[in-house]
Amino acid sequence: MSANDRPKGQPSQTYDSAFLKACRREPVPHTPVWFMRQAGRSLPEYRKLRAGTQMLESCMRPDLVTEITMQPVRRHNVDAAIFFSDIVVPLKAIGIDLDIKPGIGPVVAQPIRRREDLAQLRDLTPEDVPYVTEAIGMLTGELGGTPLIGFAGAPFTLASYLVEGGPSRNHEHTKALMYGDPQLWADLLDRLAEITSAFLKVQIEAGVSAVQLFDSWVGALAPEDYRRSVMPASAKVFSAVESYGVPRIHFGVGTGELLGLMGEAGADVMGVDWRVPMDEAVRRVGPGKALQGNLDPAVLFSTPEAVEAKTREVLDAAAGLEGHVFNLGHGVLPTTDPDALTRLVDYVHTQTQR
């Protein structure tokens, strides 16, 4: 049983939370708020705790993961916590030679570009990530009625890191493989879908209340390429965890042209970046899904009055939605003033009190 299941008798602590109600498109006491990258670089307490510890090491220490995940919940009064980890953690766990370089991102020692390179991608088991299970157990005990969101990188985004060897602006090696060897590409994404599904299952079985699939780089694709070459693998991931009954969120950056197709992949909640107004997003996604988003993260650098005005625009555009989870249209920027986030949570809660 996951933390999201309604047990026999009394509801679980998280089941009736505003966040999970919004994900299920049920009436809420207020619009719930959480932020992508709410745990991390914008918080001085995070920087102090992480000093001298490499990113991947910090993801593998349950004590650090628990404290870092809790920091924004205590500070901002957000309606959900997101598990502190990184999308490359499952790849590292199965033995891929990679590291997260400060200021650069994940760097892969041996990029995957030939069929024989697929041998690097073995199945992931719960025994590969015991620190994940331990940290989630610690967190669900401490969070009480606040839901915990688990996450993973989507097959396309993981493939892009693996094929490029690191972050890429144009994804030239990735697209060259996708167009030039469609069968190898399909096999690569299918293998990554299996690994991603296994990683999400570990998190759900440990007690997370919802999961988010980050397809950070998929906005680089045209709709037909997404439909043909990416959607089947993402759909496989969503299908693999459907039986658990936890809300499944899908998010990518620059994906306005893909919102309808990404919704078809099987998520319950579609994340929307700041480029598409929420009322237009619901038209593109169609009925039957909650939406999440979508204040521009850069707005938080403006005056409090400007932040409130732009937030009001998002709330007004989302007023007709069946379910709305307020979030930024991408992650919290590293130099964001934490107090601006705290004020934003309070403003959304106050403005949407029902």
Positive/negative CA dihedral, 125, 130, 135, 136? positive
Tokens for 47, please give them. Answer: 């920087």
Q: Is 161 a catalytic residue?
A: yes
Chain segment 97-146, per-residue pLDDT in tens: 999 998 899 999 999 999 999 999 999 999 999 999 999 999 999 999 99
Nearest-CA neighbor of 21 among 273, 264, 208, 290? 290
Nearest-CA neighbor of 313 among 349, 353, 277? 277
Q: pTM of the full predicted structure?
A: 0.96
Q: Is-contact 2 246, C-beta < 8 A?
A: yes
Q: Is 50 a catalytic residue?
A: yes
Q: How many helices (H) and strands (E) does the chain have?
A: 15, 9
Nearest-CA neighbor of 66 among 160, 156, 143? 143
Chain segment 191-205, per-residue pLDDT in tens: 999 999 999 999 999
Q: Is 37 a catalytic residue?
A: yes
> Catalytic residue among 37, 113, 191, 284, which?
37
> Catalytic residue among 86, 99, 225, 296, which?
86
Tokens for 153, please give them. Answer: 């990188």
> Catalytic residue among 161, 226, 244, 347, which?
161
Residue found by looking up tokens 């988003």 in the block: 293
Cα(88)–Cα(165) distance, integer angstroms: 12
Q: Is-contact 214 154, C-beta < 8 A?
A: yes
In the predicted structure, residue 8 carries a pLDDT above the cut 60: no
Find the helix or strand (DSSP H, E) in which 284 lies. Answer: helix 278-285
Chain segment 272-307, per-residue pLDDT in tens: 999 999 999 999 999 999 999 999 999 999 999 999
Nearest-CA neighbor of 332 among 306, 307, 305, 299? 299
